[in-house]
Structure 1
Amino acid sequence: MHNNISLFLVFFILISCSTSKDRFFNIKYHKVTTKYNVLYNGKEAFKIGKKILEDIYGDDFFNLISVEPIFLRGESIDNSTIIPGFQRAEEKSVKAIQRHSMNIKGDQKNTFIDDSYILLGKARYFDRRFFQALESFNYIMENYSNPKTYLKARIWREKTNIRLNNNELAINNLKGISKKLINKSVFSGMLNASLAQAYLNNKRLDSAKFFIKKAAINEKSYNYKARYFYITGQLFEKLNKKDSAIWAYSKIKLMKRKISRKFYINSIVKLFILDENETLEIKKNKLEKELKNFQNRELKHYLYSGLAKIFNKNGQDSTANSYFLLSQNSSNIDIYTKINNYNSIIDYNFAKGDFINTGKYIDSLISLYNPKEIEIKILKRRKESLSDVIKYENIVNETDSILKLIEMNSKDRFSFFSSYISEIKKNELDSLFNIKKKKKTVFLNFNDKNKFYFYNSNLILLGKQKFRSFWGNRPNVDNWRVISDIESSKTYGKEANKILKKNKIAYDTPEYLISTIPTNKIKIDSINQINENSYLQLGLIYKQRFGKNLLASERLKKVLKKPPSSNIKVQALYHLYKIYENKNDSLGNHYKSIIVNEFPNTPFAISLTDSKNYKNLEKETVESLYNNLYQMYTQGEYLDLLIKINQISAFISGTKFQPKLSLLKANVIGRIYGVSRWKKELEALSLSFPESIEGKFSKKLLLKISSSNDLKEKKVSYKNYKWIFVFNNNEIDRLNIFYSKIKKVLIDSKVRWTLSKDFYNIENSLIVIHGIKDKKEKDKWIADWAEEIKFVLESNNFVALASDYRNLMKNKISLK
C-alpha cells in the first residue's frame, strides 16, 4: 500500500514538472515552486545586497548627495559591483525563468515569471550592467500580463536610461507616466525621484528641485523620504532660497528616530547654519548638547564640523579651525568629512600664511584620493606652488637655530642642550611606557613589583634611561667607559677586517652636541649667506606669488637687520619700496632714498631715477623679457646681452624667472671671461637658489667642471688644426669684410675647410678656419693661392691644435 502511494506521488510530480502542459497541476506546481523557492531566495539575496549597500554607502553631505545610492567610492561605472547579493539574485531569477516559465501559445501561465524578469533587471541594474538590465525590462513591456508589473518595468527602464545618460529620452517617457499616476501611488516617489535625477544630470536645478520635492512628499519609505528632503534642501540652498531650505531640513528633523541618524544630525546642523534668528552662543550650546547625546557618539565628526562652519560664518576662523581639528580626530569619521575638514584647515593655514602646515595638510589630503582622481593633480599643483616656500622656511628655521647657538656663550649652550636632552629622554620614556601598556597580555598578568630587577620591565626602562643620561650611547666593547679605547678598538677592527663597518657612537651629552656647533669662520659666513638669501627669497615669493605683503615685508625687514651683503640688501630695499610705494607711506620714500644714495650704480637705483626709459620695459611681461634675452644668447651677442641683463634684473627680481636669468648671466660671463669666472657665478647661483631647478643644475655643472680639472683637454690630436685670425671688437666692419673675402677664396679653392666667427672675450673676436689636418696642407694652400690671399697673410693670425684652441676658448687667455 505504502509503495503504491509513493509511486503515485512520484508519478504526480513527474507529470507536473512539465512546462509545456497547460494543466491545473502543472501551473500550480510551477507557480508555488517559483514563488516560495527560487524567486523567494532571489528576492532575499537582493534584499541583502541592498541592505549592505545602504549600510556601507557613504553620503557626501558637503556636496549634493545621490538620489539613489549605487556606486561606492572608488568603484568604476565600467565594472560590476563588489557587493554580494545582486549576482545571487540574478542567478535565482534566471533559474526561475529557465525552469518554471510556462509560455504556451504566447500566453504566460506562470504569473511569477514577470516578477522574475523584474528581479533580473533590478539585480543587473545594481550590478551596473545597464544594457543587460534594459533587455529584461523591455522584455516585460513587450510580453506583460500584469498592469502593475508593466508600470514598474517602465519606470525601471527609464531609471536605467538615466544611468546610460539617455536623460532626455527618460524625461519624456517618465513625464508621460507621471500625468496618469496619482500622487498616492507606491511608484510616485520613485518616478519623481528618477525625473529629478535626469534633470540634475542636465544641470536643470529648478526642475530637479520641483520633482525631488514631490518625491519627498509622496515617498512611503522614511529613509528615502529623508534623502529626498535633504536633496530638496540642498537644491533650495543652491537656488538661494534659504527659507525653503529650512522648511525641507525641518521636515527631516521631525522624523527623528524613524530615519537614519546621519540624516537627522546633518539636517539639524544645516538648520543651525542657515538660521540667523538664534545667537551664536545658543547654537553652540544646542550642538554641544547633541554631542553629549549617547545616540550621536558615532556622529560627533558631523557636529564638530557643523560647529566649525557656524564659527566660520561668524568670522571666528581660529575657533572654527579648532573644531575642524576636533572633527578630524573623531572616531568613526567618514572620508567625505575628512576631505571637507582638510580643505577647510588648508584654507585657514594658507590665509594665515602658515605654508609649511598647509603643505603638510595637502599631503594628508592627497592620501585620501585614489591615484586616478582629478583632485590628485589639482592638489599636487597646489603643493608644487608651495614647495619653494616650504623649502626656504625650513632653511630659515634651521639656519636661524644654528646662528642662535653660535651666538650663545658656553654656559647658555650647556644649559640649552641639557634641557633639550632631558626633554627628549622624558618623551622617549613616556613612549616606551605606552608601548609596554599596549603589549600587556590577558594571559600573563604578573605583578612587576615582586620581580627581580632584570625581570621588572619598569626598572629595566628606568635603568636604561639612567645609564644613557650619564654615559650616552656606548657600543658593547671592552673598556666601554674610555672613549680612546673605543676608538682604538674600532680602528683595530677596521684594519683587521675591512668588511666590518665602523661603529659610530651617537653622543647625546651636552658636551658632544656643543662640539658639533660650527666654529670655522668660512662655514659660519656660508650659513649667514644662506640664511640671508633664504629670507630674501621668502620675501619675494610672498610678495610676487601670493600677494602676502605683510609676510613679505616681515621677511625683508629681517634681512636688513642681519646686516646682509650689498647685493641682497639692495634687492630687499627695492622690494620693500615696491610694497610701500602705493600706500603714500613715508617708508616707501625712506627705502628709495637708501637705494639711490647707497647703491647709485645698481639697476635698482637706475630704474628709480631713470623711470622714463624703464616704463617701456614695465609694459612687457617677465616671460617675454627673458625670451628676448635668451634669443640674444643663441645669436652670440654676449656683450650687449650682459648690459641688457643688468638693465632689467630689477624687473625680473622676485619672479620665477630670476633663477633662469641668473643662470643665463652665469653662462654669458663664462663665455666672456672664461671657466674661472663661470665657476664663481655658478657657485653664487647654487647658494642663492639651492632648491630651484637652475640651482641644482648649477651644482651638477660645478661637479662636472671640478671632476674634469676645469674642463682641461685629456686627449690631444696632432691631425686637427685651427687657423685663427684675431680682430678687436671695435673693428667689426673689418672683421665682416675679411670674413666675406676669405669665404669666397675657400669656396673657389674647393678645399674641405669650414669657416666660423667666434666671440672670444671683451676685447677680441675671432675668425677660425676648421678642418686643417696638417700644417703642410695649409702651407700648400697658401702657395697655390698666394695672389688671392695677400690680405690673409697681412692679418694677425696663428695656427693652433684644436685642443689648444678649445683651452683658449675656455680660459680666455690674453691674445696680446
Structure 2
Amino acid sequence: MKASFKVPSVIACSILLVVGCSRKKDKFISRNFHAVTAEFNALYNGYNALEQGRASLNESYTDNYWEVLPIERLEVFDDVILPGQSKNETFATAEEKAVKAIQKHSMNIDGKEKNPQMDEAYLLLGKARYFDQRFVPALEAFNYILYKYPASDKINQARIWREKTNIRLDNDELAIKNLKRLLTQEELEGQDLADATSMLAQAYLNTKAADSAITQLEVASNATKSNDERGRYRFIQGQLYNELGYKDSANMAFDKVIELNRKTPRIYMISAHLEKIKNFDYETGDNMAVLELLTDLEENRENRPFLDKIYFQKGQYYQNTNVEALAVEYYNKSLRTNSRDRLLRAKNYEILGDIYFDNSIYREAGNYYDSTLTNLEMNSKPYRLIKRKRDNLEDVIYYEGIAKTNDSILRLVRLPEAERVAYFKSFVEDLKTKAEAEQEKAEALERNKGLATVNAGGRQTTPFQGVGAPAEASFYFYNPTTVAYGKNEFVKIWGNRPLEDNWRWSSKLAIGNPGGAAATDIVATATEEQLYDPQFYISRIPSEPKEIDSISKDRNYAYYQLGLIYKEKFKEYELAKDKFQELLQSNPEERLILPSKYNLYKIYELLGETSEVTIAKNEIINNYPDTRYALILSNPDMVSDEDENSPESLYQALYVQYENQEYAEVISKSEEYINRFEGDAIVPKFELLKATASGRLYGFDAYSKAINFISVTYANKPEGKEAQYIETNVLPVIAKKEFVKDIDSIRQQFKVVYTFKDAKREQLEGFKTELDTVLSHIKYYKLQSSVDVYDPNTKFVVVHGLTNKQVANTFEQLFAKEDKKKIKEPHFVISSANYQIIQIHKNLNDFLNVDTN
C-alpha cells in the first residue's frame, strides 16, 4: 500500500517542481533553480572547455624572443572562418555551453534579466569567440553585457575583454581611450587592474609608445596574482628598456625575473640571464664572471631544454673575446641541439657563414648561407640580404672549384712516374679502408635487421623500423641497410652533389682529390678489378697535349675570373693580387696577359704599393703601346667610360645595328669584340647578342647551339642564367616545325610576302616606297609594310594588317587600276603563325609545298 502511494507522490512533486520553475515566472524557486543549474551544469562545463582550449593554445604557441614579446600568448591567423566553423573544437564546445545556458536558463521577464548567471554566460560566450579568433562576434557578446547588465559584478571584466578584442581588431586608439577612462572612473584592484593595465600596455606597444607601455607593465606586474604573468611582464619591461637604450634599467627588470626563479616559467629566467649577458660591456666588465655564469647555466640539468640558446650565447661570448675556434665550436653545438627556434638556427648558420667568409673560405661560407636561407621566411628582408650575399659567392665557388680540380689534374700530369705510383697506392689503400668500414657497417646492420625481441607478454616482435612504421612494414626507406647502400651507390655514380636545382649538370660536380670530381667519376666507372689497381688511375691521367692544354686554359680563365671577383665584388685585394700573379706565372693565353697586368696595376694602386704601380704602368705603356689600356694610363683625362671605343659604347652601337636587321655585321663584329675584350664582364652580353642575331639569320638550330654554349660557358653570369631559362622554357616552345592549318577567323592574321634574292638595298627601298604609296590608296583597310631579313641571301617585303584569308588571296584586287601596273612582283600569302615558323626554322620551301587550307 505504501509503495503504491510513493510513486504517485514522486510524480506529483516532479510536476509541481517543473511548473514552479518556469522561466516565465519571477519566483524564488525559479530564479534559484535556473541560476544553480546554469552555474553548475552548462557554465561549469563551458569554462572547463575554455580552460582546456587555452592550455592547448599555450602549448602550441612559441614565443619569438628575438623581438619584444606580446602581452598575451595568442597567435592570430589570417584564415577566414565561415559561419558555423571553428578553429578549435574546445572553444566551440565552450560557446555551445554558453548558448545552452542562455537559451535554457535565461529569465527575461518584462525586459529585465532575473537569472544572475546570465552575465557570466555572455562573458563565457565572448571569451570562447575571442580565443576562437572570431573577434567581431566576441565584441557583440561583450557589448551586450555592458548594455543589458550595467549593474553586473562582471562589468569591469566585460570592459577589459571588449578592449582586448578592439586591440585584436587594430582599434588601438579606441582601446587606449576606453581603458584610460576605466582606470580613471573605477578603482580597480587585483587581477582586474593587472588585466586592464597589461592590455593598455599592449595598445601602447602597438602604437609605438614604449615608454608608456613600461609604466603600465609596472602596475600590472605588481597587481597580478599570477607569477607566470609577472615574469612575462617584467621580461617585456626589460626588452623595452633595451629598445630605448636604457641597459641598466633593462638589467634591473631582468633581475626581477631571475628573482622569481621557479615561481615563473623557466624560459623567462633563462632568457633574462641571456639578455643581461647581451648587455654586458666586454671592454670594462668582468669577462670571467660572464663565462662562469654561462658555464653554470650550461651545466645545470634543469636547463637542458634551453641549451640551444645557452650554447649560442656562449659562442657570442667567445666571438666577442676573439676566441674564434671556441666560438665556432659552440655555434655548432647550438645547431646540434636540433633547436625548434628557426631564427636561432638561421643566426647560427649566418654567423658561421660570416666567419668562413671573413677567412676567405668561400665554399664553406656558401654552404652555411644556403642553410641560413632554409631557416628564414621566403622573401623577407633578412632572406633577401642573405640571398644577395649568397649569389655573390656563386661565381667564386664555381671558379674556385674549376681551379682546384684542374690544378690537381695538372699536378698529377707533372708528377714523375714513381711519385704517381706512390700517390695512387696511397689512394687505393684509403679506398680499401673505407670499403672495409662500409662493409662492416652494412654487415652489422644486416645482423641487427631481423633481431627479434621479447616483450613483457613473451611474444616476439621485430624492431621498430621507422617513425610511424608498423613492425611488418617493408617500405625500403625504413630499412637502414637499403638506405646506406643507396647513399653509397649515389656517391659512386654522381659524386658528392649539393641538394639544388639542376644537380645533374656537369658544372655541379663536387671537388675532391685527386682530380676533384674527375676522380669521383673514375671511381664510379671502375670495375671491381680496376678499383684497387693504381695503374688504372694512372692510365686515366691526361697525356694528350691538346687535352692538357685545354685543362690549363680552363684553369687560367678561372684564375682570371677569381682575380676580378676578389677585386671588384669582395674588395679582397691581396687575394686578387695572388690570383693574377699565379695566372701570369702559369703561361696564360695572350688574351689574358694584358687585362691581368692592368688589373694588377689597379690593385697595386689600391694597396699603396707605389714602386709596383710604377713598374706595372711602364710595362703596359712600353710593351703594349697601341692598346686601350696604354691609352688610359698615358692620358687618363682623355678617356672616359663613354669613350666611343669603350666596350659599353661599342655594345650600344652594335645593338643599334641588330635592331636595323644587320645580322651578319652584328655576328662578325661580336666575334671581334669577344676576342678583343676577353675576360671583360661585357663579353657574355656580346655572346648573347651574337646568339640572337645568329638565330634571326640562320634559324633555330644555330640559335639553339649558341644558347647552349652560353648557358654552359657563363653558367654563373646573368646572361648564362638567361640562356638557361631560354634553353629550358623557350626553345621547347619554338622547336615545333609543323605548319598551322589556316582558319578563316577574325583572330587570325595574314601576310602578303614579296621575296627578293640578292637584292640591293636601293632596289628594296624603292619597291617598299612604291608599295606604301599603293597601300595608302586602299580604302577600308589599314595596311603597312616592312622589310624583313630571311637568310643571308633573301629578304622579304611584307604587307601586314589583313585579317581575312580570302581578302589576302585576292590582295591585288584591292588596288586601283593604275596601281596594279606598278606592283607586278610575285608574292605568296601566309598566316602570322606560319610566318613565325618559317622565320624560326628557315623552311620556306617546305611551306610553299604544303597545303594549309
Code of the residue aligned with 2:179 in structure 1: it is L
Deviation at 1:244, TM superposition (A): 0.7
Shift of 1:725: 5.6
Does the CA contact (< 8 Å) of 1:49 and 1:85 recur in 2?
yes
Quote how far apart the aligned CAs of 1:668 are.
7.6
Contact 1:722-1:768 within 8 A present in 2 as well: yes
Letter in 1 for 2:287: L
- Contact 2:421–2:538 (Cα < 8 Å) also in 1: no
Cα displacement (A) at 1:162: 0.9
- Identity value in percent: 30
| 1:101 and 2:106 correspond | yes
409-418 or 365-374: which moved more? 365-374
Matched, 1:442 2:453: yes
Q: In the alignment, residue 226 of structure 2 is paired with which amino acid? A: S
| Matching residue within 558, 571, 577 for 2:601 | 577
Distance verdict in 2 for CA 1:423–1:208, change over 3 Å: farther
Q: 2:656 aligns with which of 620, 626, 631?
A: 631
Match of 1:617 in 2: 642
Going from structure 1 to structure 2, the CA distance change for 1:65 and 1:539 (only over 3 Å counts) comes to: farther
Aligned pair partner of 1:51 in 32, 49, 55: 55
- Contact 1:20 1:102 (C-alpha < 8 Å) held by counterparts: yes
| 1:635–1:113 distance in 2 versus 1, CA, 3 Å | same
* Alignment-derived partner of residue 334 in structure 1: 341
Q: How far apart are residue 581 of structure 1 and its match?
A: 2.0
Q: Please say which of residues 338-347 and 320-329 is displaced more in the overlay.
A: 338-347
8 Å contact from structure 2 (residues 234, 253) kept in 1: yes
Q: Which residue of 2 aligns with 1:479?
A: none
Q: Distance in 1 between matches of 2:235 and 2:385?
A: 29
> How far 1:311 moved relative to its partner?
3.0
Match of residue 111 from structure 1: 116
User: 1:69: how far off?
Assistant: 1.1
Q: Deviations over 1:156-177 (max 9, x none)?
A: 1111111111111111111111
1:249 to 249, 254, 264: 254
Report deviation, 1:57. Answer: 1.8
Contact 1:754-1:769 within 8 A present in 2 as well: no
Q: Which of 25, 32, 35 does residue 21 from structure 1 map onto?
A: 25
Alignment of 1:638-717 (within 5 A): 655=681, 657-664=682-689, 688-692=713-717, 694-695=719-720
Residue equivalent to 1:543: 567
8 Å Cα contact 2:556-2:583 kept in structure 1: yes
Return the alpha-carbon distance in structure 1 between the equivalents of residues 723 and 379 of structure 2. 35
Aligned residue for 2:221? 216
1:509 deviates by: 2.1
Deviation of residue 332 (structure 1)? 5.3
Deviation at 1:122, TM superposition (A): 1.4
1:140 to partner: Cα distance: 0.7
The aligned counterpart of 2:96 is 91
Structure-1 residue corresponding to 2:512: none
Amino acid at match of 1:103: N
> Contact between 1:753 and 1:770, CA under 8 Å: does it hold in 2?
no
Q: Compute the RMSD of aligned alpha carbons.
A: 4.8
2:573 and 2:607 in contact (8 A); partners too: no
Query: Superposed, which structure 2 residues align to 1:259-338 within 5 Å?
Result: 259-276=264-281, 278-331=285-338, 333-338=340-345
- How many Å apart are 1:272 and its aligned residue? 2.1
SS at match of 1:187: helix
Bigger mean CA deviation after superposition, 619-628 or 409-418? 619-628
The one-character-per-residue Cα deviations of 1:457-516 (angstroms, maximum 9, x if unpaired) are: xxxx9xx99xx9xxx99xxxxxxxxxxxxxxxxxxxxxxxxxxxxx99465324444444
The answer to which of 348-357 and 96-105 deviates more is: 348-357
3-state DSSP class of the match of 1:617? coil
**Counterpart for residue 70 of structure 1:** 74
Letter in 2 for 1:520: E
1:36 to 28, 33, 40: 40
* Aligned equivalents of 1:747, 1:28: Cα separation in 2: 101
| 1:94 Cα deviation from its structure 2 partner | 1.7
Say yes or no: does 1:225 pair with 2:247.
no
1:509 aligns with 2:519: no
Gaps of at least 5 residues in structure 2 are: 455-459, 463-480, 494-524, 729-752, 778-782, 799-820, 823-837, 844-853
Which residue in the other structure is 2:809 paired with?
Answer: none
Identify if the C-alpha distance between structure 1 residues 740 and 93 changes in structure 2 by more than 3 Å, giving closer, same or farther: closer
1:93 positional shift: 1.5
CA distance in 1, matches of 2:635, 2:707: 31
Q: Take 2:148 and 2:407, find their aligned partners in 1: how far apart are those partners?
A: 83
Equivalent position of 1:428 in the other structure: 438
Aligned partners of 2:591 and 2:678 also within 8 Å: no
Give 1:42 deviation, angstroms. 1.3
Task: Describe the SS at the equivalent of 2:549.
Answer: helix
Change (3 A) 1:415 1:60: same
Deviations 1:331-370 (A, max 9, x none): 5543343233233334434444444333333433443456
Tell me, yes or no, if structure 1 residue 418 matches structure 2 residue 443.
no
* Aligned match of 2:581: 557
The code of the aligned residue for 1:575 comes to N
CA contact under 8 A between 2:707 and 2:723: conserved in structure 1?
Answer: yes
CA contact (8 A) 2:592 2:678 kept: no
Q: For 1:424 and 1:127, how far apart are their aligned partners in 2? A: 58
Where does residue 592 of structure 2 map in the other structure? 568
Residue 68 of structure 1 aligns with an amino acid whose one-letter code is E
Aligned to 1:149: 154
The AA in structure 2 aligned to 1:541 is I
CA contact (8 A) 1:417 1:513 kept: no
8 A Cα contact 1:670 1:678, kept in partner: yes
Q: Assess, with a 3 A threshold, how the Cα gap between structure 1 residues 668 and 210 changes in structure 2: closer, same or farther.
A: same
CA spacing shift, 1:749–1:620, aligned 2, 3 Å: closer
Structure 2 Cα separation of the partners of residues 213 and 623 of structure 1: 65
1:588 aligned to 2:613?
Answer: yes
Are residues 1:7 and 2:11 paired? yes
Secondary structure of the residue aligned to 1:722 is strand
| Distance in 1 of aligned mates of 2:183 and 2:335 | 45
Q: Distance in 1 between matches of 2:222 and 2:583?
A: 67
CA contact (8 A) 1:300 1:330 kept: yes
1-structure distance, mates of 2:289, 2:603: 44
- 2:163 aligned residue: 158
How far the C-alpha of 1:269 sits from its partner, in A, is 1.3
Alpha carbons of structure 1 residues 203 and 653: separation in structure 2 relative to 1, 3 Å = farther
1:34/1:112 contact within 8 Å kept: yes
1:204 pairs with 203, 209, 215, which one? 209
Contact 2:642–2:649, Cα closer than 8 Å, also in 1:
no
Residue 532, structure 1, aligned to residue 556, structure 2: yes
Which SS does the other structure have where 1:417 is aligned?
helix
Which amino acid in structure 2 is aligned with residue 508 of structure 1? Answer: L
Distance in 2, matches of 1:625 and 1:291, equals 65
* One-letter amino acid matched to 2:108: N
In structure 2, C-alpha distance between the alignment counterparts of 1:69 and 1:676, rounded to whole Å:
63
Residue of structure 2 equivalent to 1:477: none
Displacement of 1:101 in angstroms is 1.6
- Name whichever of 63-72 and 256-265 sits farther off: 63-72
State the shift of 1:768 in Å. Answer: 7.0
Matched to 1:592, the amino acid is K
Counterpart in 1 of 2:400?
Answer: 393
Return the alpha-carbon distance in structure 1 between the equivalents of residues 765 and 667 of structure 2.
26
Cα separation, partners in 2 of 1:702 and 1:103, compared to 1, 3 Å: closer
CA 1:742–1:406 in 2, change beyond 3 Å: closer, same or farther? same
Please state how far the C-alpha of 1:253 moved relative to its aligned partner.
0.6
Unaligned residue ranges in structure 1 (runs of 5+): 447-460, 474-502, 704-718, 727-734, 772-783, 786-801, 808-816
Q: Which amino acid aligns with 2:758?
A: I
Q: Deviations over 1:649-694 (max 9, x none)?
A: 9999664x54213433677899999999999998986675244454
Contact residue 186 and residue 219 of structure 1 kept, 8 A: yes
Q: Deviations over 1:613-653 (max 9, x none)?
A: 32353899998985565334323678799889989999996
8 Å CA contact 1:533, 1:688 repeated in 2: no
Distance (whole Å) between structure 2 residues aligned to residue 580 and residue 672 of structure 1? 46
Q: Quick one: distance in 2 between partners of 1:240 and 1:694?
A: 47
Could you tell me whether the CA contact under 8 Å between 1:325 and 1:341 is conserved in 2? yes
